[in-house]
């Protein structure tokens, strides 16, 4: 069974794409990040909530502050990747909803007045968008290195505020030498999919 997506694109986005642990020195430009965002912004979220926020860590000083909050095993790559992005969920995303979801402009107050509801919705939908962003990095011909081994509360205090929940940090760039381990196994179809 062949997919509609051409095999080269399948390789670029999934089959040959890998989580990179080393990178070349080639910089990642603002224009590249803009092109990635302009593609993946169309990925679907519940009621078009679009809660993902992206903090690009470009200054040496900010990079140093971030590295201190990474787990030991993630520090060297976070220090050396051409670009590092902190992905977070905006728990006040509902403020944008009257613009983002014109079909139901009251949603902001009717559905999302409770902060707990917003936090759980933002966590799910920002995670979907984080995945679209990873796919977008690959679509740009770059390697992504998403990491969750870090002090989330430290990163929040250092770079964000109480309204933003960090999800992950992503290294971005061209893969360097020995950029990845051998591919780990995946679960078989029958281990994942059941039919009722």
* Interface positions, 12-71, toward a second copy (CB under 8 A): 12-15, 17, 19, 29, 31-44, 46, 48, 50, 52-59, 62
Tell me the window of 74-82, 136-144, 171-179 that interacts with a second copy (CB under 8 A): 136-144
Q: 116 vs 184, which CB is nearer to a second copy? A: 184
**143 alpha-carbon distance from chain centroid:** 12
Min dist CB 39 to a second copy, Å, is 5
Min dist CB 50 to a second copy, Å, is 5
Min dist CB 196 to a second copy, Å, is 4
Measured in residues, the chain has a length of 196
Task: Determine the Cα–Cα distance for residues 168 and 71; give it in Å rounded to an integer.
Answer: 12
Q: Is 1 in the site for a second copy (CB under 8 A)?
A: yes
Asked if residues 159 and 87 have their Cβ atoms less than 8 Å apart, the reply is no
The DSSP letter of residue 81 is S
One residue of 123, 154, 156, 174 binding a second copy per CB under 8 A: 123
Task: Determine the Cα–Cα distance for residues 21 and 59; give it in Å rounded to an integer.
Answer: 21
At 62, phi and psi to the nearest 5? -65, -40
Tokens encoding 186 = 């995946």
What is residue 106's three-state secondary structure? coil
Tell me the window of 74-82, 129-137, 171-179 that interacts with a second copy (CB under 8 A): 129-137
Min dist CB 7 to a second copy, Å, is 10
């Amino acid at each position: 069974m062949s997919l509609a997506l051409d095999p080269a694109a399948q390789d670029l986005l999934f089959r040959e794409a890998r989580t990179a642990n080393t990178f070349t020195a080639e910089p990642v430009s603002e224009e590249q990040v803009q092109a990635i965002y302009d593609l993946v912004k169309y990925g679907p979220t519940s009621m078009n909530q679009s809660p993902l926020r992206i903090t690009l860590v470009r200054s040496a000083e900010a990079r140093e502050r971030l590295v201190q909050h990474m787990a030991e095993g993630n520090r060297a790559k976070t220090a050396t990747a051409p670009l590092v992005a902190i992905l977070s969920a905006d728990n006040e995303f509902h403020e944008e909803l009257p613009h983002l979801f014109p079909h139901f402009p009251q949603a902001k107050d009717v559905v999302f007045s409770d902060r707990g509801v917003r936090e759980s919705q933002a966590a799910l939908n920002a995670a979907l968008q984080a995945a679209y962003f990873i796919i977008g990095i690959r679509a740009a011909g770059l390697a992504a290195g998403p990491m969750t081994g870090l002090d989330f509360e430290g990163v929040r205090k250092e770079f964000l505020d109480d309204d933003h929940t960090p999800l992950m940090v992503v290294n971005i760039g061209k893969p360097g030498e020995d950029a990845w381990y051998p591919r780990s196994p995946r679960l078989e179809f029958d281990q994942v999919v059941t039919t009722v």
